[in-house]
Chains A and B, each alone.
Chain A
Amino acid sequence: MGNSDSFVKFDNIDKSYDGKVLVVKGLNLDIAEGEFVTMLGPSGSGKTTCLMMLAGFETPTNGEIYLDSNPISNIPPHKRGIGMVFQNYALFPHMTVYENLAFPLRVRKIPKDEANKKIDKALSMVSLQGFESRMPMQLSGGQQQRVAVARALVFDPQVVLMDEPLGALDKNLREQMQYEIKHIHESIGVTVVYVTHDQSEALTMSNRIAVFNDGKVQQLSRPDQLYEEPVNSFVAEFIGESNTFVGEVIEITKDKCKVKLNTGAEIFANPITVKSKGEKTTVSLRPERALINPSSKMENNHKGKIEEVIYHGDHTRIRLDLLGNKQFILKIPNSSSNMDIKLGNTINVGWNSKDSRALDSK
């Protein structure tokens, strides 16, 4: 095995379909062996395109993709040995489940009894034993999905690509399948490149997440880092919720800066991308990091007026008008000791400067 830090490597990849627009721009991405990496991003950000280039159905306009340190641009798709789960499953409708799974083994001329063993194993992995003779049409959406996963794994590929494999399933089934796919990944240790635009799916399943926007990887890091420490304002807003303030840096030290908002108010923040005084910045704060009527003295402490109260079962969301931001969201757990949360009341809100991250301005 080659360099285990970059089993799959996208090296400065550009892709354009029409010669006018770059759909993928200078993409660099290293995926280690056995890793579960998710490409997450809004629609049209180039995720599928990247997957297709890796699978060999599209050629990069520029740059090279390496698989196990070997460049693969001249290898046709059928020789890459990459399993793929398509968004609409792409099961062969004229073949039974057994024949679908046998297809990759048959073209590899694997002897029949060995093939049968592999098929049994793959089907038991997705708990579908006994369905061998069904046609895909006779399966439910979730079952078809499992067959697709089993088929992509049955020939022991080095890498499995999954393009929004759970997109068509309902919420419960999706969560169950997320768990199963994760489980399969852990038990056989295959490298998985997964595409989704559902962030909770990405956060729960992946070792690392690559956030795509506009043909570029905005951030590649562990799920918790991605959520807690977004490196730019796109990631901060795309992952989870965040309250933002737009302003200008007026004082800066190594781990603290003072930002003057457009309304004139001043807040303390944690400088992430800003380097110098006078820079424009977007300050991002997770809703759960702001507290109501903080007991201890916090660096940021401001009064806001309650504009809306939304009951969410286990917690309540409150929309405030705070420092000129009318969309400031607070999440408070529903406990019996509820304060004076009533429409129109003014409350005190505080947070630490290290939780409000001063990022690039949009």
Chain B
Amino acid sequence: MSTEKILSSDGLPLEVSLRKAERRNKIKALLLVAPLFFFILIIYVFPIGEMLFRSIDDRKITGMLPKTFKTMENWDAKELPGEPVYAALYEDLSYLKETKTYGKIIARLNYEKSGFSSLIKKTVRKINKFEEGNYKEQFIEVHKKWGQMAYMGALKRAAPKWTFAKYLKGVDLKYDPEGEIVQVPEDRRIHKILWMRTLNVALWVTIFCFVLAYPIAHLLATLPMKYSNLLMICVLLPFWTSLLVRTSSWMVLLQQQGPINDLIVMLGIASDDNRPELMYNVIGTFVAMTQILLPFMVLPIYSVMKTISPSLMRAGKSLGGTPLVAFYKVYFPLTVPGIGAGCLLVFILSIGYYITPALVGGASGTLISNTIAYHMKSSLDWAFASALGAMLLIGVLTVYWIYNKLVGIDNIKLG
């Protein structure tokens, strides 16, 4: 290779004139992708960033007790703080009383340590009577809790702008008064159960979908055109029906007086006065979600099977493999990319599934997404909802990562 500069016919170096010629195309290409780029930024990157941010944001209280927290920075939290901290606390609380905004810190502090509610209320009521100097004694006089390490320590823990408390809560952990991470009491450990149930449901739904989808996809790929088109419509039909309609039709089918229970009674599997509960529990969630997510498994597997030449199976047989051997040595390995794509898709979708478990799941069939919805709509603990959402996201990314390690993401084929 010569290192000499090659000149194009107008005397410019080839590289320069090439860049010049390509510039227009590059600008065009950029303009074409720009709307999509902004769209993704606005509807995807921004909300998720906001969610992650909200889940660790704890600046509200930081802003309301600014002086207290400032003076607490130099306090090692081994024994009660000195006068300056109490003086700052006095100033902050007086200001909050003046502006009548002290109500907002009560909930936050009470979450850190119960008992703060009465403590703050009582203190604020009497704060006008405080005299200058010796605030520490006066505080302890108003309420002896001000002289206890548990409360002062809790106050210090509320100081940082960022907190992972919501994430700990999401896996049934919390900070104890000494600032150590401990499990919540046994009777309040509900989130771990929810996570396990969610994973369990997602796993089984994926397995059921796979077992049902594989033969369907195979039929779709091998039947003559006129039958396979019909079958394809049957597979796609659920997509054209409202999700709500499909879920509620499952409710009709699965209810205790519904046709499926009638059939079970008719076949003598269960007696009439002892009809099995098929709904408002995990069974209902399994059945309805499997049906609803089935197309997401069928389509990727089908699109891979479609590309497998029938002559491969024939080759397998002509070389002496029984149909079974030809299937699992030749056909099945070639469908693995489709299976991977389908399983990943179904698993990820079912991990965050909401509407179906909400309707047919009952109490024992609700999943983590239902809890997120509850905290968004009812308890209004958006920070916690965000933390759970972020954990879900991390879970999905982990699944994706594991898949990538095991199978390789380039092997995914969606169509």
Contact = CB atoms under 8 A, between A and B. Distances in A.
B314 A78 contact: no
B248 to A, nearest CB: 44
Interface stretch (A37-45, A66-74, A79-87, A302-310): A79-87
Nearest to A77: B317
A316 to B, nearest CB: 45
Question: Interface range on chain A: under 10, 10 to 19, 20 to 34, or 35 or more?
Answer: 20 to 34
Contacts of B325: 107
B320 A108 contact: yes
A91 B314 CA distance: 11
A87 B311 CA distance: 9
A88 B311 CA distance: 8
Interface in B318-341: 318-323, 325-326, 329-330, 333-334
A90 B321 contact: no
A77 B318 contact: yes
Nearest to A101: B319
A92 B332 CA distance: 12
B230 interface: no
A87 B310 CA distance: 12
Nearest to B314: A57
Interface in A48-105: 55-57, 76-84, 86-88, 90-94, 103-104
20 contacts: A56-B318, A57-B314, A57-B317, A76-B323, A78-B319, A78-B320, A78-B321, A78-B323, A82-B318, A86-B311, A86-B314, A90-B314, A92-B316, A94-B333, A94-B334, A103-B316, A103-B321, A107-B319, A108-B320, A155-B319
A301 B328 CA distance: 70
Nearest to A52: B314
Interface of B: 309, 311-312, 314-323, 325-326, 329-330, 333-334
A78 B311 contact: no
Interface string A259-273: 000000000000000
A172 to B, nearest CB: 26
Max chain A Cβ within 10 angstroms of own Cβ: one of B323, B326, B329: B329
Contacts of A56: 317-318
4 smallest beta-carbon distances between A and B, as pairs: A104-B319, A90-B315, A90-B311, A84-B318
A82 B316 CA distance: 12
B352 to A, nearest CB: 33
A55 B333 CA distance: 25
B329 A55 contact: no
A152 B319 CA distance: 7
A146 interface: no
A55 B318 contact: yes
Nearest to B329: A103
Given A90-B309, A94-B334, A103-B329, A84 B323 contact: no
A151 interface: yes
Contacts of B312: 90, 92
A17 B325 CA distance: 28
Max chain B Cβ within 10 angstroms of own Cβ: one of A77, A84, A151: A77
Interface of A: 55-57, 76-84, 86-88, 90-94, 103-104, 107-108, 151-152, 155
A152 B325 CA distance: 18
A84 B322 CA distance: 16
Contacts of B322: 76, 78, 107
B318 A83 contact: yes
A104 B320 contact: yes
B314 A77 contact: yes
Contact of B320 (A57, A88, A107): A107
Given A90-B314, A107-B320, A152-B319, 9 more contacts: A76-B322, A77-B314, A77-B317, A78-B323, A83-B318, A84-B318, A88-B309, A92-B330, A107-B319
Max chain A Cβ within 10 angstroms of own Cβ: one of B315, B326, B333: B315
A79 B329 CA distance: 17
B222 to A, nearest CB: 14
Contacts of A92: 312, 315-316, 330
Given A86-B314, A88-B309, A93 B321 contact: no
Nearest to B325: A107
A121 B314 CA distance: 24
A107 B321 contact: yes
Given A88-B309, A107-B325, A81 B315 contact: no
Contact of A84 (B315, B321, B326, B333): B315
Max chain A Cβ within 10 angstroms of own Cβ: one of B320, B325, B330: B320
Nearest to B322: A78
A79 B321 CA distance: 9
A137 to B, nearest CB: 13
Contacts of B323: 76, 78
Contacts of A108: 320
A146 B321 CA distance: 21
B31 to A, nearest CB: 37
Contacts of B320: 78-79, 81, 104, 107-108, 155
Nearest to B308: A93
Nearest to B336: A94
A78 B317 contact: yes
Contacts of A87: 311
B333 A78 contact: no
A269 B216 CA distance: 65
B333 A103 contact: no
B376 to A, nearest CB: 46
A82 B333 CA distance: 25
Contacts of B315: 84, 86, 90-92
Contacts of B329: 103
A103 B318 CA distance: 11
A327 B309 CA distance: 44
Contact of A103 (B309, B311, B319): B319
B368 to A, nearest CB: 38
Contacts of B311: 86-88, 90
A84 B318 CA distance: 7
Nearest to A84: B318
